[in-house]
Chains A and B, each alone.
Chain A
């Protein structure tokens, strides 16, 4: 069977399916090839199911602190990890079905199987060679099957997978990746989390909230290494107060597997080694692009450190072949993939688009307390040679935060002293992941400190801290 498309997208993750819908809106005959699950890692094994898990943990935390709010809950607060997982899978399943519906509504064909680009403009779809992660949601109805398909433009959106450290490869039983950590078959009493990026910290936070003894091991001196140092410091203090054990500038050098536990050898910066035994170890040392098995080598597609090199509007060095999302390089975030995909098909259409400014892509981490940021950290802004105006405002000074019982956190803003350009905004504390978009819009519209100062922020809200932080950068904060 042979089908000719204008645009064929390999991978039905957040980048792939959003790109497909935009392509269909622009009038292109469009198809998506998917081998495992519509919605990709994000919706099935990432962003969404972890938010469901973290919500359970958050409610549990609130319930166990009901007394702080003048409430009394009779009896013992408890949970069943199986039920928490079941709810998370349910949320994922509902949205997975939703993606199938959206593609159908937009008349995007879904081709089920694994794609290989055999020559420019041609894709052969065969049986998936990679075993699907279990459990899986059912295959959507009406999908096309194996065969040869042709397309004027082929977009690779195959995403990324967990990176494995040599000697500490995940075995799915004792050493977990996010896949296993998301559907635990029991509640571990103790856990070692290797890596303190967004994925590692979210699982550390989830399991700690449910009562596990959690040790986070980070090779850099700072946890959450991509975040601003001030923000990471506030977060670390809070994590430690909640009982998390954090070892920074430390490295897991070996893991011994016991009958039903692991013993990790951890070496600190002085070279002192110690052994820690825990029920499980989560490996969260980053992700790498899925560039293998697609036929990219034979086509001579240029790659760099496991990612496909593009021109910022998805174009690779091979005419007619594009790449977007994780596989096209960092930051490896769903919203980056979506936006990159939309720009790519709009550029194919001939619309006047500009490559995305990667400094304006926000990042959110949903641990407790939450972290959200956009733009340059103070250290990076200094390195870039800017003279800075830096503002800080603590949650302690905000009425709404106090009323919520969330007095821990910080909003930090960084401006170019010369032009008033907002270079970066960084936050830690309750609900900051929902606040950051205010700064993202501000940056996108190129506001200066003056416009932000003249903006009226509603009272009483957490967003007032964003205003105060800007005021503080210019020595005008009111409530500190």
Chain B
């Protein structure tokens, strides 16, 4: 029986390393204790020692290869009396791909790492893909390309759950795309496994809090958004003095209800929602949703508003905000936010919409970039309104200024279009009477 030499792990958390060089060549006689090769990571170099005796029949991973996954077969040793040429030819089949794929579970990932290229490159060259018959059939029927799916079965075999995960996560490539416009998200590399992460900390030095469904949803949705949406950002400073004056006047003249309390009290955020809705009406090409085959151009501005609640956040939608008065928007938002905090919103109150507002101004945040929340094509990140020095006509003066940043889905809203939307928004927020018409 040929002895397989595996890529060793230099540390418990090591997942791949570089095979620096071979110190033996094919055909060399190997004694137990001989140094076969040198392995390196960014931190250390280690020698691979032979445990078994025989002839080095086949080197499967050449010296100088980067990012070789741990436990991949890197060479075969023929035992005494074994036919070296048979071992060598038989040894050609263990493809490196499945091993690499073990680390690359579909859909859950922080960022694409070189693991992906290790996993897919050999497959592209026609290596055998290990997949269960059921996985093969399910992939075929769904039109998925197996080489884009990472296997989680024994030795990286692709099994039913991997295909299901790929279908659910939309992370697998469609095989034989019907049109060239098909956008294919490559399989994403996963982060470290839970166990690997936990090993980095001393046992007992942390408390483990299992995710609730909201946390899982946030993680899944935002990961998907960042992986599949090409984000583009445009920022501007908006002067708020006119808005603040209008707000004060409106609030001061609010009629009082039976209980003696004013019937409405507008916040800056209410103006932002309204201004965004009216801006989308003025730049209708930005009021859209991307789908694979068409652009959905919306007739109304349904504006989501991110509400932070204990344990997460939720984005209730103010529908047809362009048609609603500021006081109506204000009161609706109060109701939505209070029910959101009690987790009492109905799905149709937070699903859909074409844009969203995320306001961190109350924390003194000056500027930030939000993540587009599909099916939206844009999201507006709103910073704090604060007094700043501004230069007007060569004169230094003081104004209340708020920095806002649009994140756009570049597939749907190009840079210039995003800038046009920002310009419309800025004009409305700086001249709030424009919202009244």
State the A residues within 8 Å of B (CB).
152, 319, 347, 350, 352, 354, 418-421, 445-448, 450-451
Bound CA span A460–B208, Å: 57
Residues in chain B near residue A451, CB distance under 8 A: 133
**Can you offer 20 A-B residue contacts whose CB atoms are under 8 A?**
A319-B208, A347-B195, A350-B195, A350-B196, A350-B199, A352-B102, A354-B161, A418-B141, A419-B134, A419-B137, A420-B133, A420-B137, A421-B160, A445-B132, A445-B133, A446-B132, A447-B132, A448-B134, A448-B137, A451-B133
Contact in complex: A419, B141 (CB < 8 Å): yes
Whether, in the assembled complex, B138 has its beta carbon less than 8 Å from a beta carbon of chain A, the answer is yes
The contact of B134 among A152, A347, A350, A421, by CB within 8 Å, is A421
Q: Which residue of B lies closest to A442 (CB)?
A: B133
Residues in chain B near residue A450, CB distance under 8 A: 133
Bound CA span A347–B133, Å: 27
Contact in complex: B193, A352 (CB < 8 Å): yes
Q: A319-B208, A350-B12 are in contact. Are A447 and B193 (CB under 8 A)?
A: no
Residues in chain A near residue B134, CB distance under 8 A: 419-421, 446-448
Residues in chain B near residue A350, CB distance under 8 A: 12, 195-196, 199
Whether, in the assembled complex, B135 has its beta carbon less than 8 Å from a beta carbon of chain A, the answer is yes
Bound CA span A418–B134, Å: 11
Q: A354-B152, A419-B138 are in contact. Are A446 and B133 (CB under 8 A)?
A: yes
Contact in complex: B133, A448 (CB < 8 Å): yes
- Of B12, B138, B161, most A-chain CB atoms within 10 Å: B138
Q: Closest 10 interchain pairs by CB? A: A446-B132, A446-B134, A350-B195, A448-B133, A451-B133, A447-B133, A421-B134, A446-B160, A448-B134, A419-B138
Whether, in the assembled complex, B159 has its beta carbon less than 8 Å from a beta carbon of chain A, the answer is yes
Residues in chain B near residue A421, CB distance under 8 A: 134, 160
Within 8 A of A (CB), among B89-146: 102, 132-135, 137-138, 141
CB distance from A322 to the nearest CB of B (A): 14
CB distance from B143 to the nearest CB of A (A): 14
Q: Which residue of A lies closest to B152 (CB)?
A: A354
Residue total for B at the interface (Cβ-Cβ under 8 A): 19
CB distance from A470 to the nearest CB of B (A): 13
Bound CA span A420–B141, Å: 12
Bound CA span A143–B426, Å: 81
Bound CA span A88–B337, Å: 71
Bound CA span A451–B133, Å: 8
Residues in chain A near residue B12, CB distance under 8 A: 350
Beyond A152-B203, A445-B133, 4 additional pairs, beta carbon < 8 A: A350-B199, A420-B133, A446-B160, A448-B133
Residues in chain A near residue B159, CB distance under 8 A: 446
Residues in chain A near residue B133, CB distance under 8 A: 420, 445-448, 450-451
Contact in complex: A446, B208 (CB < 8 Å): no
Bound CA span A418–B141, Å: 9
Bound CA span A419–B199, Å: 40
CB distance from A202 to the nearest CB of B (A): 34
Q: Which residue of A lies closest to B204 (CB)?
A: A319
Residues in chain B near residue A418, CB distance under 8 A: 141
CB distance from B257 to the nearest CB of A (A): 49
Bound CA span A420–B135, Å: 11
CB distance from B254 to the nearest CB of A (A): 52
Bound CA span A278–B405, Å: 86
Bound CA span A347–B141, Å: 34
Residues in chain B near residue A420, CB distance under 8 A: 133-134, 137
Interface residues as binary, B141-179 with A (CB distance below 8 Å gives 1, 0 otherwise): 100000000001000000111000000000000000000
Residues in chain A near residue B152, CB distance under 8 A: 354
Interface residues as binary, B36-68 with A (CB distance below 8 Å gives 1, 0 otherwise): 000000000000000000000000000000000
The contact of B135 among A152, A319, A347, A446, by CB within 8 Å, is A446
Bound CA span A450–B193, Å: 35
Q: Which residue of B lies closest to A450 (CB)?
A: B133
Residues in chain B near residue A152, CB distance under 8 A: 203
Residues in chain B near residue A445, CB distance under 8 A: 132-133
Bound CA span A347–B134, Å: 27
Residues in chain B near residue A419, CB distance under 8 A: 134, 137-138, 141
Q: Which residue of A lies closest to B160 (CB)?
A: A446
Residues in chain A near residue B199, CB distance under 8 A: 350
Residues in chain B near residue A352, CB distance under 8 A: 102, 193
Q: Which residue of B lies closest to A353 (CB)?
A: B195
Q: Which residue of B lies closest to A348 (CB)?
A: B195
Bound CA span A352–B12, Å: 13
CB distance from B361 to the nearest CB of A (A): 40
Residues in chain A near residue B132, CB distance under 8 A: 445-447
Bound CA span A354–B138, Å: 21
Q: Which residue of A lies closest to B199 (CB)?
A: A350
Residues in chain A near residue B160, CB distance under 8 A: 421, 446
Bound CA span A354–B159, Å: 12
Q: Which residue of A lies closest to B203 (CB)?
A: A152
Bound CA span A352–B71, Å: 13
CB distance from A268 to the nearest CB of B (A): 45
CB distance from B14 to the nearest CB of A (A): 13
Bound CA span A421–B203, Å: 42
Bound CA span A152–B12, Å: 19
Interface residues as binary, B186-216 with A (CB distance below 8 Å gives 1, 0 otherwise): 0000000101100100010000100000000
Bound CA span A354–B105, Å: 13
Residues in chain B near residue A447, CB distance under 8 A: 132-134
CB distance from B131 to the nearest CB of A (A): 9
CB distance from B134 to the nearest CB of A (A): 4
Bound CA span A111–B138, Å: 50
Bound CA span A415–B135, Å: 15
Bound CA span A469–B408, Å: 57
Q: Which residue of B lies closest to A422 (CB)?
A: B134
Bound CA span A223–B133, Å: 36
CB distance from A357 to the nearest CB of B (A): 9
Bound CA span A450–B133, Å: 9
Bound CA span A257–B134, Å: 57
Q: Which residue of B lies closest to A447 (CB)?
A: B133
Q: Which residue of B lies closest to A311 (CB)?
A: B210
Q: Which residue of A lies closest to B207 (CB)?
A: A319
Bound CA span A248–B134, Å: 39
Bound CA span A451–B132, Å: 10
- Of B133, B152, B161, B193, most A-chain CB atoms within 10 Å: B133
Q: Which residue of A lies closest to B159 (CB)?
A: A446
Residues in chain B near residue A446, CB distance under 8 A: 132-135, 159-160
Residues in chain B near residue A319, CB distance under 8 A: 208
Residues in chain A near residue B137, CB distance under 8 A: 419-420, 448
Q: Which residue of B lies closest to A319 (CB)?
A: B208
Residues in chain A near residue B141, CB distance under 8 A: 418-419
- Of B137, B160, B203, B208, most A-chain CB atoms within 10 Å: B137
Residues in chain A near residue B138, CB distance under 8 A: 419
Bound CA span A447–B159, Å: 10
CB distance from B156 to the nearest CB of A (A): 10
Bound CA span A140–B252, Å: 89
- Of A347, A418, A448, A451, most B-chain CB atoms within 10 Å: A448
Q: Which residue of B lies closest to A416 (CB)?
A: B134
CB distance from A217 to the nearest CB of B (A): 41
CB distance from A348 to the nearest CB of B (A): 9
Q: Which residue of B lies closest to A317 (CB)?
A: B210
Residues in chain B near residue A448, CB distance under 8 A: 133-134, 137
Bound CA span A359–B196, Å: 29
Bound CA span A244–B132, Å: 45
CB distance from B418 to the nearest CB of A (A): 44
CB distance from A120 to the nearest CB of B (A): 10
Bound CA span A352–B9, Å: 15
CB distance from B345 to the nearest CB of A (A): 29
Within 8 A of A (CB), among B409-428: none
Bound CA span A350–B138, Å: 31
Q: Which residue of A lies closest to B158 (CB)?
A: A446
Bound CA span A350–B193, Å: 10
